[in-house]
Homo-oligomer: A and B are copies of this chain.
């Protein structure tokens, strides 16, 4: 399992209609084949200056690549992500087996 996350801040005013529409459009990413566990999140820690996050899970690298290359993802990045996002950081995780024998 690969968990793909991105934490970001929009150019739009907080609580604006433009913000709402961005999030509504992003909801379509959940329907791209291979995407599981899609979440839209609000970032609430005062220790960074991002406002939102998306999280999704892929079974493997092939599913992740299929998402990246999917026309709906490519169109979303071109039409919404690039023009509307002010700053972002992508973080991808895979599970780590529990480490034993702490001291």
Hey, which bits of chain A sit against chain B, CB under 8 A?
A: 2-4, 7, 20-21, 23-28, 39-45, 47-48, 50, 52-53, 55, 89-96, 98-103
> Is the CB–CB distance between B20 and A95 below 8 Å?
no
Q: Which of B3, B20, B42, B94 contacts A94 (CB 8 A)?
A: B42
Copies of this chain assembled into the complex: 2
- Given the complex of chains A and B, what is the CA–CA distance between A18 and B47 in angstroms? 27
- Given the complex of chains A and B, what is the CA–CA distance between A47 and B5 in angstroms? 12
A-B contact pairs, 21 of them (CB 8 A): A4-B45, A21-B102, A23-B99, A24-B101, A25-B103, A39-B95, A41-B93, A41-B95, A41-B96, A42-B93, A42-B96, A43-B93, A44-B93, A45-B90, A45-B91, A47-B89, A47-B90, A48-B89, A48-B91, A50-B91, A91-B91
